[in-house]
Structure 1
Amino acid sequence: MGVTAQPVSRWRTRNWRVSVTAVTLAGAIARLVGDRDSIAWDEVYLYSWVHGKGFGQMMHLVAVKEKTPPLGFVLAWISDQLGSSPSLIRIPSLIAGVALIPLVAALGRRLGGQRTGLVAALLVAVSPFLVFYSVEARSYSLTVALCTASTLLLVRALKDGRRADWAAYSLLAALALMSHYTAFAVLAGQALWALAAFPRNRKSILLSQAGPVLAAVIWLPWLKQQVDNSSDELHRIAAISPLDFGNVSAIIGHSLVGHPLTSIARLPGQWGLGLVLVGVAIAAVALVVDRVRGRAPREPMGRPNIWLLVVLALAPLALALGVSLQPGQSMLLARNLITAVPAAALLVATLLASRGKAVLLISAGLVTTGLALGTVIELRDVQRPATGAAADAIASRWKPGDRVIDLCCLSGGDGPLGTALALQLTKGPRASLTVLSRGGDSAYAASLKTNGRVFIVGYQLPRASAPIFYAPPKAWATRFHRTWAREWPGLVKTVAWEFSQR
């Protein structure tokens, strides 16, 4: 019936564990490099809900203001107690993002064998999509790690039948559901596959659903408000990503080989995408040739196990498409497919690992290099806006009497505690800060009343000569001239300008 891979020697097991550890360390380094990014966009809202709040107040805000369940906020709240840096709220995502690598390795080993598990871990470690969300404070990384861990425990429980494994699976399924509602697709897929593939275990499978069902019942009093909040979000997504073939194919491509917020042409680029496609094609051709010649795969995966991965890879997409069929609603953002990525990586790894050593080394090397190229581009050129670096640069030059104008407050990027820039400024510059979207021309008018300098921070698009929203009135422009400038690359360029009196 599947589930269990071939046994291997103790020596090979030790080498496999060493290899997985090395891959995990490499993935951890990439994620720690990414963690240097400033908090941005939705992270600012999360920080506003947890920072300086009591536990009860935080839970109330999540229940009435948010659209996702509370586990990620609870863990972010705990992390925020460790110090004053806003980036502390990313600790749960970082831990989950690193933990996902050995979890995928262990699941691949259970389903297909050691080579399958190791190759899948390698793909997950260098995935630019997963690296990005491993340093995103929202609960996407936590959800995908919990879903993968629950799948691993389900497979183990079906094989061994231990009550402890069934109980642990039920608990992890509940935690996954309480981290993000998109986990429902994976949990439903797990249960349906298990019932179809292991009908003799029907009683244990059904009893194990008590965990997520109980969690949903406990959270039920707050669910309606969150559903209403989610409905507003789905309408906003529909305005920018309605249901059509182009948007569906785009989010699939971004989740598998790219980045959620930029084009595949930019990341991983033509070279990166080409390497991935050539690597997969080589393994696919080798598979066809071996089938024609009657050669058995090196690490055969049972059909039920393959069906499990297919179900888990398609279930999140099916959920997104189902919701997007509703008039005026859409779930077509790449982040909503994150729970499908481990299963997709395992399917690709199954293909790569099933051929001979030469094909494995060449094909896996090409695919890994293509994904790693995307991650290098992400960490070097496609960072989140560098508001933290801009805040540090201003703090080193700011003096009493100077003022700061914030042009960075784009839609959705401003939390109740202030903008991303405000959260990272020191006390003096923060007190002199005016946000343009709130103050309009008064932001410039206030600076006309001071004899000090004015610092302006904003986002600048490619080939533009000034930041977005930079439009000072004539009286201001004739009085000040620019005396200093800094810029930082990223998804959008962050610029800081200093103006002095003429």
Structure 2
Amino acid sequence: MWSWQPSPASSGLGLTQLPAGSLMGVTAQPVSRWRTRNWRVSVTAVTLAGAIARLVGDRDSIAWDEVYLYSWVHGKGFGQMMHLVAVKEKTPPLGFVLAWISDQLGSSPSLIRIPSLIAGVALIPLVAALGRRLGGQRTGLVAALLVAVSPFLVFYSVEARSYSLTVALCTASTLLLVRALKDGRRADWAAYSLLAALALMSHYTAFAVLAGQALWALAAFPRNRKSILLSQAGPVLAAVIWLPWLKQQVDNSSDELHRIAAISPLDFGNVSAIIGHSLVGHPLTSIARLPGQWGLGLVLVGVAIAAVALVVDRVRGRAPREPMGRPNIWLLVVLALAPLALALGVSLQPGQSMLLARNLITAVPAAALLVATLLASRGKAVLLISAGLVTTGLALGTVIELRDVQRPATGAAADAIASRWKPGDRVIDLCCLSGGDGPLGTALALQLTKGPRASLTVLSRGGDSAYAASLKTNGRVFIVGYQLPRASAPIFYAPPKAWATRFHRTWAREWPGLVKTVAWEFSQR
């Protein structure tokens, strides 16, 4: 555990090395083996709790962008998959490569989530280790707790796309950069360079974090300029290798940025919304719904208590319990702001926007560490109260997410239909919310058994063909639809008017979630 302050008289790394907990020449007592062992046990327990939350979330059916990822990797050879990613996708290939490997393990579509789940769980001890090295054991443990119960990070740990992978690789690269600057070992510099390359090849938003790391290191450690610059060879080489396919992906990204601009243009409301969603909420629903007034209130009160205690201690001249060196604080500030700066910079371009909460995910660990630094720097009573309130507020959001804000329950709907379906029956799925315009048709199609899948019709309006087909076979028609929050009725819930007199509803089921999934059975009169 180390923190640093520049010193003109220093040698070696060019900086004076101080034990963790040091600030302005005040040195904390060494940490005992007993406390270190207890810290490791605590981090392990927090990691297990975070893993359980993520595994509960993994019960959701794959949905939306996950359907596209599945279509690029399932049943494809490695070369075919890479070609599809290069010409049709807008993100680099690492996440797809790992999803392709995971897909080879079995037939379940949810296998493509394995890399994200592993990365999401690994992020917890990574943040703990980074916090311990920058500030101390309390800082690392509190930060790990915040990451473990963050509803935003729990959601993306169960998202097959590479967001969780990217944030874990960025955090690991930051940890290795800090260690390399402390020890100066070539192995650490090489490992940092490799992880930085992997982060960049997982998602282009990693560029903001990697650039922030490099600029901070050059400013805080000028005598290590050569090692810092040489370590950039990894991400630069990765970008050069991927360069032949980069232009096509940039074009694909441009189309995406135009679509985002239509729903989330650059204004104060959208900027504040994505910041709030990434810190305490969920990427696809309002903060009023998740974590709700109680959850948000607990988080704000907890932070306020620690902030007031900080001011009081400063007035009384009390030193922080676990101070963090100023260069370390600047590192976290840079890493927390760099992704937002990238999103704002792109969104300044006419007709383009990056203002989606998911594009700030790489900032969340640094933000958690900054909050943990505030909470851990006060006395034990303040720490327990403030950290307890913040953690409880975030945990309330995660409970709401896992209980009420799941992805569309296409798997449950498919199972229910399969238990009732008979030859001659037809199945209709509304495509607009389930990836129906993707290569595989719909998320429902991935879950249905062979017979119902063969009778599936994907429709966004009308349904005459399916009803007509069922009349020829004397069968029934099953419809799966989606009801949006605050909507009075499902999007698609009854036979077309021309057929309404010949069919009546004989069965219905619904499943709660981010959008309510509803299924109906219509039989001939």
Q: Is this a same-fold pair by TM over 0.5?
A: yes
Contact 1:2 1:304 in 2 (8 A): no
1:475 CA displacement: 2.9
Q: Is the 8 A contact 2:467 2:477 kept in 1?
A: no
Which digits, 9 at most, give the CA deviation of each residue in 1:141-198, with x for residues without a partner?
0000000000000000000000000000000000000000000000000000000000
Following superposition, the deviation at residue 7 of structure 1 comes to 3.8
Work out the CA distance in 1 between the residues paired with 2:134 and 2:279: 21
1:499 aligns with 2:522: yes
Number of aligned residue pairs: give it: 502
**Structure 1: runs of 5+ lacking an equivalent:** none
C-alpha contact (below 8 Å) 1:93/1:137 kept by paired residues: yes
In the alignment, is residue 272 of structure 1 matched against residue 295 of structure 2? yes
Contact 1:106 1:152 (8 Å CA) reproduced: yes
CA distances 1:255-310 after superposition (whole Å, capped 9, x unpaired): 00000000000000000000000000000000000000000000000000000000
RMSD: 1.6
Deviation for aligned residue 1:499:
1.1
Once the two structures are superposed, what CA deviation does each residue of 1:365-421 show, in whole Å capped at 9, x if it has no partner?
A: 000000000000000000000001000111111111111011143385542022000
The CA deviation string for residues 23-42 of structure 1, in whole angstroms up to 9 with x for no partner, is 00000000000000000000
Alignment map for 1:217-296 (pairs within 5 Å): 217-296=240-319
Give the Cα separation in 1 of the matches to 2:312 and 2:346.
41
The answer as to whether partners of 2:434 and 2:443 remain within 8 angstroms in 1 is no
Residue range with higher mean Cα deviation, 274-283 or 457-466: 457-466
Query: C-alpha distance in 1, partners of 2:295/2:70?
Result: 35
* Distance of aligned partners of 1:21 and 1:211 in 2 relative to their CA distance in 1, 3 Å threshold: same
Matched residue SS, 2:518: strand
Spell out, residue by residue over 1:88-119, the C-alpha distance to the aligned partner (whole angstroms, 9 max, x if none): 00000000000000000000000000000000
Moved more, 290-299 or 434-443: 434-443
Return closer, same or farther for 1:117/1:453 CA change in 2, 3 Å cut-off: same
In 2, are the aligned partners of 1:34 and 1:135 still within 8 Å (CA)?
yes
Quote the Cα distance in structure 1 between the aligned partners of 2:63 and 2:28: 43
**Contact 1:323–1:331 (CA under 8 A) maintained in structure 2:** yes
Q: Do 1:5 and 1:112's aligned partners in 2 also have CA atoms closer than 8 Å?
A: no
Give 1:477 deviation, angstroms.
Answer: 1.2
Q: Deviations 1:337-377 (Å, cap 9, x if unpaired)?
A: 00000000000000000000000000000000000000000
TM-score normalised by the chain length of structure 2: 0.93
TM (normalized to structure 1)? Answer: 0.98
Whether the 8 Å contact between 2:428 and 2:458 is mirrored in structure 1 is yes
Alpha carbons 1:407, 1:457 under 8 Å: kept: yes
Assess, with a 3 A threshold, how the Cα gap between structure 1 residues 431 and 438 changes in structure 2: closer, same or farther.
farther
2-side partners of 1:7 and 1:24: how far apart?
25
CA offsets 1:201-232 (integer angstroms, 9 cap, x no match) = 00000000000000000000000000000000
Q: Distance in 1 between matches of 2:500 and 2:458?
A: 18
Return the offset for 1:448.
3.2
2:28 corresponds to 1:40: no
Q: Give how far 1:500 is off.
A: 1.1
Distance in 1, Cα, partners of 2:479 & 2:71 = 24
Structure 2: distance between partners of 1:282 and 1:112: 20
Partners of 2:61 and 2:449 lie apart in 1 by 15
CA-to-partner distance for each residue in 1:62-84, whole Å, 9 max, x for gaps? Answer: 00000000000000000000000
Percent of paired sites with the same residue: 100
The SS at the match of 2:251 is helix
- Tell me how far 1:438 sits from its aligned partner: 8.3
* Gap regions ≥5 residues in structure 2: 1-23
CA 1:443/1:4 → structure 2, altered by over 3 Å: closer, same or farther?
farther
Shift of 1:454: 1.0
Over residues 299-340 of structure 1, what are the superposed CA-to-partner deviations in whole Å (9 max), with x where a residue is unaligned? 000000000000000000000000000000000000000000
TM-superposed CA distance for 1:466, in Å, is 3.8
Q: 1:2 to 1:136 in 2, by over 3 A?
A: farther
Would the aligned equivalents of 2:463 and 2:495 in 1 still touch at CA under 8 Å? no
Structure 1 match to 2:94: 71
Answer with 210-219 or 402-411: which moved more: 402-411
Q: Distance in 2 between matches of 1:440 and 1:389?
A: 23
Q: 1:40 to 1:294 in 2, by over 3 A?
A: same
Conservation of the 8 A alpha-carbon contact between 2:433 and 2:482: no
Q: Which deviates more from structure 2 when the two are superposed, residues 480-489 or residues 264-273?
A: 480-489
Spell out, residue by residue over 1:237-270, the C-alpha distance to the aligned partner (whole angstroms, 9 max, x if none).
0000000000000000000000000000000000
CA contact (8 A) 1:403 1:454 kept: yes
Contact 1:193/1:311, CA 8 A, preserved across alignment: yes
